[in-house]
Amino acid sequence: MSAASKTLELLSFFTPAQPEIGLSQLCRLAGRDKATTHRHLQALEETGFVEQNPLTKRYRLGPAILQLAQTRELTVPRKDGVDAPLRALADATGETTHASILSGTVLYKLMACESPRHSIRVVIDIETFPLHATASGLCALAFGPGPLLDVARRPLTPFTPSTIDSADALTSAIEATRATGFGRALGTFETDVHSIAAPLFDPTGFLAGAVSVASVATRFTPELEARIKTHLITASRDITHNWGGTIPANVENAWANAVAQSKDLEPTP
């Protein structure tokens, strides 16, 4: 691992839950020497990526980040165009929703939105989504670039007893995702969290990310799942459209089939 990577890694320890970190604390978190960490922090401070609270001497993220974020959003507008559909999806389903974007072989959280409907709800507090264990990840594997598969297989970390742990099981999960147009992850990342996700596409037709609804197992009935799926279709179409892309025909077809089947199996009373 390069020195630069190690330096950049430090930034990932700053989260809304812990926005200010002291030198010693950061050493423990990163598992690195104090001198090393200090020099890394100095490099980050020089370039404006962190700054030191003059009162507490602790470090926090710096202003340079804001500028880069602005440039990024101008270059690849993603946050714009996600907010409204994500909120609408949360309102319609009464569950927590989130959107993620694929960069290289990593699926990053872009935004999450909780519905106030239930007091027990899922909170998304991870920054990147494991590809084999989440609904969004399955979408990425099913509709994203090929090399993703090699990366996903590498560790196949078992988060829960239900986590997919064999290459075969993963392949069939991916096939199911391709067939229905929805990623499905029932307690495979966190027990009692059931998620359904739909893919998102950019103007070039590539998979750009995923939108997902995370529900609590105890209230995840087939009716809810069907409702989530219909609203997911809308959300995915809206976001993809806002990003200047269109849903590929094969995905639209898969959705149509999936919805038709669920109607056959569970006819509305």
Angstrom distances, CA of residue 35 to CA of 9, 12, 192? 16, 19, 43
Site track for its own copies across 67-106, x = CB under 8 A: xxxxxxxxxx-xx---------------------x-xx-x
Q: Does 6 bind DNA (CB under 7 A)?
A: yes
**How far apart are CB 72 and its own copies at their closest, in Å?**
4
Beta strands (DSSP E) in the chain are 50-52, 59-61, 96-103, 106-113, 183-186, 193-201, 207-216
Within 10 Å of residue 218's Cβ, how many Cβ atoms?
A: 9
2 vs 119 by CB, closer to DNA: 2
Q: Does 25 bind DNA (CB under 7 A)?
A: yes
Q: Does 53 bind DNA (CB under 7 A)?
A: no
Q: Does 36 bind its own copies (CB under 8 A)?
A: no
Angstrom distances, CA of residue 157 to CA of 112, 149, 169, 233, 254? 24, 14, 14, 30, 29
Q: Does 131 bind its own copies (CB under 8 A)?
A: no
Count CA atoms closer than 13 A to 128's CA, side-chain side: 11
Picked from DNA, its own copies, none, the partner binding residue 22 (CB below 5 to 8 A depending on kind) is DNA
Q: What's at 47, amino acid-wise?
A: T
**How far apart are CB 104 and DNA at their closest, in Å?**
11
Picked from DNA, its own copies, none, the partner binding residue 120 (CB below 5 to 8 A depending on kind) is none
Which residues are within 8 A (CB) of 111 and not within 5 positions of it... i.e. 6 or more apart?
Answer: 79, 82, 83, 86, 98, 99
Site residues (vs its own copies, CB under 8 A):
2-9, 11-12, 14-16, 19-20, 39-40, 42-49, 51-52, 54-55, 60-76, 78-79, 101, 103-104, 106, 108-110, 127, 145, 204, 206
